[in-house]
Structure 1
Amino acid sequence: MSGSIGKGGNAAMYISQHQANSKNERLADPAPLAMGGFATTLLSVSLAMMNFRDVSTQTLFVGDLCFVAFFGLLISAQWEMVRGNTFSYTVLSAYALFYAGYGANMIPSFGIIDAYGGYTSEYYNAFGFFILLWGVFNLFFLIASIRFNLVYILIFLSLELCLCFDAASQFKRGDGRFSTSKTFSTVAGAFAFTASILGYYTVLHYLCEESLPVSVPMGDTSRYFKKCTLASGKANDDLV
């Protein structure tokens, strides 16, 4: 948009855009809270998936899943919507709901496991579908993240591999192949661990950007898509 003020509608558009930019400058950045909740919760689950210190049951992490991640990401997502970041809003909202749904499966009072008669083959296959379809959803985030930076690409790639291997683990468990299932679960946990560490790296990036004269590189890739962005007439929409 031109910096000059034209007649009628053009003036109104300029003023509206200026007010929106001024408003965004006054808003706090929701990124550290969102990525911190995301990374902390995912790291906890990944350690159990890899059976660290003989911990494999994830029930204790329901608090992280249904409160820390769910509320942290969902609240942050609303601020991203206010800031006009569609991609950020979609990603944070989606993972807030995923974490809540994942945690809900572990709450006994919900009766989800009992509905399948316990840990049956049908339950594991259904859980595998749940994980796999979120992998399909995450694939769109991975594709879209290419125009942001290398760290986001690696986060979504790690999540994609985690979800695929976790789904495979559930399917193998449903087939009664528990040894193979455990191997797939460990691999999935390793990719989840990688994504969580990258999430913490992102938190460091934003906190240093906010309070320290230190730049933590993210591997910007947006410069390769500037021509496409200008052609579409859209401004860059940063992820958190």
Structure 2
Amino acid sequence: MTPGPTASRPARTTLRAGLALLLGLLLAVLVAAPAQAAGYRYWSFWEREGATWSYATQGPAQLRPEDGSVQGFRFAVSAEADDSAAPRPKAAFAEICAGTEERDGRKRIALVLDFGTTADAPGGERPPKARTACASVAEDASAADALAAVAPPLRYDSSAMLCAIDGYPETGCGEQVSGAGGPSAEESSDAASPGSEESDSGSASGGGGPSAGLLVGIGAVAVLGVAALWQSRRRRG
């Protein structure tokens, strides 16, 4: 006997419920998939205490470091200050400033200049090798003064943001870059300083949610289950 419209209604209801479940699971996949965060390409400014780099709380034009200080600058793409990559070269004042003698009325500032990786470089440009320098400047000089003494030309924008050190990069200043991610293969292969290891790994996008593949698999199992239930009810009808 062919089931009538009333008998087929539960089957249609069950099928609609299954489709609704599938759509819900697909929506969960889209929500759970981590979005590529936008970042900014810029020079970050760091201070070194002992073996640790700390993101500077003042700009280089405002900070007036003491004699014997170690300051660092790193060019990279970062989404936030917490994700910024620290300078990679090992920084020790005694080594960097060993060839610069003390002078009355002057102070010595060790500078670590990390021009970043090719992955972070603007299109058509290649970053210079990282280097260190010792600036001998007036006692009241700022970190920007020390930087200008050893790495000209510097470039600033209209809001006094540091755009280029030693002419790098040639263009751009703090521009937004889509899809900011973790360290590149080049970054990972370089020897990191003790303080930079945490910063570099912190910028990697780990993604703590369930994987999209797992959710799709669950959805497929659910659809198969609904289909089997519908077939079973058709036979009973």
Q: Structure 1-normalised TM-score?
A: 0.20
Q: Name the one with the larger strand percent.
A: 2
Larger radius of gyration: 2
Q: Name the one with the larger helix percent.
A: 1
Q: Structure 2-normalised TM-score?
A: 0.20
Higher relative contact order (CA 8 A, sep 6+): 2
